[in-house]
Structure 1
């Protein structure tokens, strides 16, 4: 998309070579796009022009459903998270290393974990460095040269989910987890040159409840008790912040949730800040429920640039 106008489709849907079904995850590096798809144990590589380049399998039993790429061009797979690990691969997808993120990951229970839409990317930060958290500690790590180092400590105190209440410790008892986890919070941190954005939500909540904006130059933090970053063009849309690139926050909107929200706004909303722009509504009405995620790009003020 460019200024809201469709530019091109990358590849096409299907089950054949170079085709995808539902996209799990994707990463853009320079002029290349890597995509992981349902139904495949491989990564699909395209040019930004939309041309298929190659499809290469992941080694052994490894999957790359959810993945990222570090600034050093190392592929990071999240498929070992249930066991507290990140798997690192070089550009040929031969295994490079394993980084243990969570030494407390249960060894005596089935390898599963609870994740919601908010967790679909565990990466924090952007293209400058690879930041990561699994929300089970208040440390945000960064991965450099296949090693784990401390990026930030959030100091959640008594808002951090206790080890005894993590979903795996309750042996998958979802109802009990939803009761005991109510007071506890998790934070997603996004890093830009001038600001840190921290999105806080409860373990049992669907939406963000607070947004913190930390000014790096002033060393000050503002708290906004809201679930959205206001934009008078689209109204109060619930966005999933995923990444930062070129001093922009990248977020996504789920098409199914978008169609439902638009219907509610048409049925109940009055003129005002809750009502999206008519031009935007006309454009977004073309979205179908089975479309892939909609990418939202939000530029952030860069105070480091010289005037």
Structure 2
């Protein structure tokens, strides 16, 4: 009965959204109650890329990592407050911009996005309400522009259209639109993803991810996954946790009451990192066990896989194509796996490449 109520509420909310979401029913339901062990059926080879460690290239914590033109762009907004570029072999190239107050500087690199076909990186600075643009070949500052919204994350769809995950700043039972398509030349904004605002207090492993199959967006505690174009956010997948899903009754409670109810019910929910190629969908899930689970959905056979051993170093995927997928391990992971930091090569995180 609870499962039916949850699904009914989900479809009611889905149909109530405006613009591209209204009436949209062309999405795929993924049943999370029927998972099987991965048992190494998907990956054929594993290799590691150690990121150089030096005085100018320390990474305290990876906030975001993007694979672009065989290089790695990495931001650390919590500790070093930097954005850095590394070569395909892990060799450090340069920092992009610098932390500070004033023109050409960001106080915190809340998020960044690369403009397709432009070789330009854009940094979101909520503190100064601006976007800063840098040349990815040199790291040189190009320009900046003011914005009139606060965002959790951004994603350039093309040179004119910016997808934005607006910062949910309500803590009661308020609902609002959280997805935005910002047309930069005209300033026009189209809103999508109507949901409980306070659920943004639950951090995901990542909101926007791009692959050959397009751009996907996921939001905290919302089991709908959206595909994004300049036309808007359109539901593509629904992650069905059945009786263990977080109910809208729980999400409607005041913030502390919501967390208390979740600690009591121990519901299951995804934690972002939705990324896909033509055959597989990858994401992170909190369900069985005390750790995040790396989930693989075979879109051809409609099968949900998760590693049978949570010590398998498949965590935090950030890039995929038809032949390989990239993830990364942190220093905390090294301790968990019982190996030397970065395999004895440095104290920075290590990138793991899995081949299909």
Q: 1:191 to 1:13 in 2, by over 3 A?
A: same
Cα deviation digits, residues 137-191 of structure 1 (max 9, x gap): 432121234333231222221121001111x523433652442341332253321
Structure with higher strand content: 2
CA gap of 1:129–1:161, structure 2 versus 1, over 3 A, is same
> What is the 5 A alignment of 1:29-178?
29=115, 30=117, 31-37=119-125, 39-48=127-136, 49-58=138-147, 60=148, 62-70=149-157, 74-81=161-168, 83-92=176-185, 94-99=187-192, 101-102=193-194, 105=196, 112-117=198-203, 119=204, 121-124=206-209, 126=211, 128-166=213-251, 168-173=252-257, 176-178=260-262
Q: Which residue of 2 aligns with 1:275?
A: 339
Deviation for aligned residue 1:18: 1.2
Provide Cα deviations, 1:48-96, integer angstroms capped at 9, x if missing partner.
12011111111x3x12442122358521221254523312212447233
When structure 1 is superposed on structure 2, of 141-150 and 45-54 the one drifting more is 141-150
Question: Is the contact between residue 297 and residue 305 of structure 2 (CA under 8 Å) also seen in structure 1?
Answer: yes
Equivalent pair of 2:282/2:296 in contact (CA under 8 Å): yes
Gaps of 5+ in 2: 1-85, 170-175
> Is 1:194 matched up with 2:279?
yes
**Deviation sequence 1:16-61 (CA, Å, 0-9, x none):** 2111233211112341111113522011100112011111111x3x
Q: Secondary structure, in 3 states, of the residue corresponding to 1:230?
A: coil
Q: 1:54 to 1:64 in 2, by over 3 A?
A: farther
User: Greater relative contact order (Cα 8 A, min sep 6): structure 1 or 2?
Assistant: 2
How far apart are the structure 2 equivalents of 1:116 and 1:136?
A: 7
What secondary structure sits across from 1:11 in the alignment? coil
Normalized against structure 1, the TM-score is what? 0.69
Secondary structure, aligned partner of 1:172: helix
Question: Which ranges of structure 1 fall in alignment gaps of 5 or more residues?
Answer: 106-110, 232-238, 288-293, 302-307
Query: For residues 286-305 of structure 1, what are the alpha-carbon distances to aligned partners after superposition, in whole Å with 9 as ceiling and x for unaligned?
Result: x5xxxxxx68463553xxxx
Counterpart check, 1:180 vs 2:180 = no
CA distance in 1 between counterparts of 2:127 and 2:213 reads 32
Q: What is the DSSP-based 3-state SS (H/G/I as helix, E as strand, rest coil) of the residue aligned with 1:96?
A: strand
Q: Residue 72 of structure 1 contacts residue 145 of structure 1 at CA under 8 Å; is this kept in 2?
A: no
- CA distance in structure 1 between the partners assigned to 2:287 and 2:179 by the alignment: 24
Structure 2 residue aligned with 1:235: none
1:212 maps onto 2:275 in alignment? no
Distance 1:282 1:136, change over 3 A: closer
